[in-house]
């Protein structure tokens, strides 16, 4: 599971480990990245079928600055998470990592591997989905494919 309550103990268990963040295309975020904020992000919305919904996640914002000597260890990130506890409220939240590389994109954390030497965070591409596919007439495959659209006249879009 790729949530705060699975990642934080791994960070604490390997405090001297270096952090490596792998983007969906297998590029790596430069090792001198900073975590500029950790936040609780709640989105309340109406889906295209008229249903009220709410999602909440923990979002880490990264900055790759000119300070190329900067290195964040797992222990330091665990301490930043500890400082964010009042904001995260102890909830077990999915993790999203916001990174800018030509565009700012919020990538969901797909997986992580931890050892004493290194913690690797693997990111996934975010994908839009139609949450009211039953009202739109979309198959489950169509509803989850990026770029799929509801048919005109279905009342979903």
The pLDDT score that the predictor gives to residue 149 is 47
Q: Is 43 exposed, middle or buried (0-12, 13-18, 19+ CB in 10 A)?
A: exposed
154 close to 138: Cβ distance less than 8 angstroms: no
Mean per-residue pLDDT for 121-141? 86
**How confident is the model over 47-70, as pLDDT tens digits?**
988 999 999 999 999 999 999 999
pTM: 0.86
Taking the C-alpha atoms of residue 12 and residue 114, their distance in angstroms, rounded to an integer, is: 11
Q: Is 121 exposed, middle or buried (0-12, 13-18, 19+ CB in 10 A)?
A: buried
**151/15: higher pLDDT:** 15
**How confident is the model over 1-42, as pLDDT tens digits?**
699 999 999 999 999 999 999 999 999 999 999 999 999 999
- H or E segment and range at residue 61: strand 52-64
Taking the C-alpha atoms of residue 75 and residue 71, their distance in angstroms, rounded to an integer, is: 11
Closest Cα to residue 135, out of 120, 111, 151?
151
Q: What would the two tokens of residue 23 be?
A: 């983007």
- What is the pLDDT of the chain when averaged over all its residues? 90
């Amino acid at each position: 599971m790729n949530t705060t309550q699975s990642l934080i103990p791994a960070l604490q268990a390997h405090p001297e480990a270096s952090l490596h963040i792998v983007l969906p295309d297998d590029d790596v975020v430069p090792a001198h990245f900073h975590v500029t904020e950790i936040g609780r992000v709640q989105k309340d919305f109406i889906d295209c079928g008229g249903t009220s919904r709410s999602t909440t996640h923990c979002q880490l914002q990264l900055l790759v600055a000119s300070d190329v000597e900067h290195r964040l260890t797992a222990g330091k990130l665990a301490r930043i998470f500890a400082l964010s506890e009042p904001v995260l409220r102890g909830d077990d939240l999915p993790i999203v990592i916001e990174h800018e590389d030509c565009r700012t994109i919020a990538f969901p954390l797909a997986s992580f591997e931890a050892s004493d030497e290194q913690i690797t965070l693997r990111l996934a591409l975010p994908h839009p989905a139609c949450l009211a596919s039953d009202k739109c007439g979309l198959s489950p495959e169509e509803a989850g494919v990026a770029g799929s659209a509801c048919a005109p006249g279905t009342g979903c879009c």
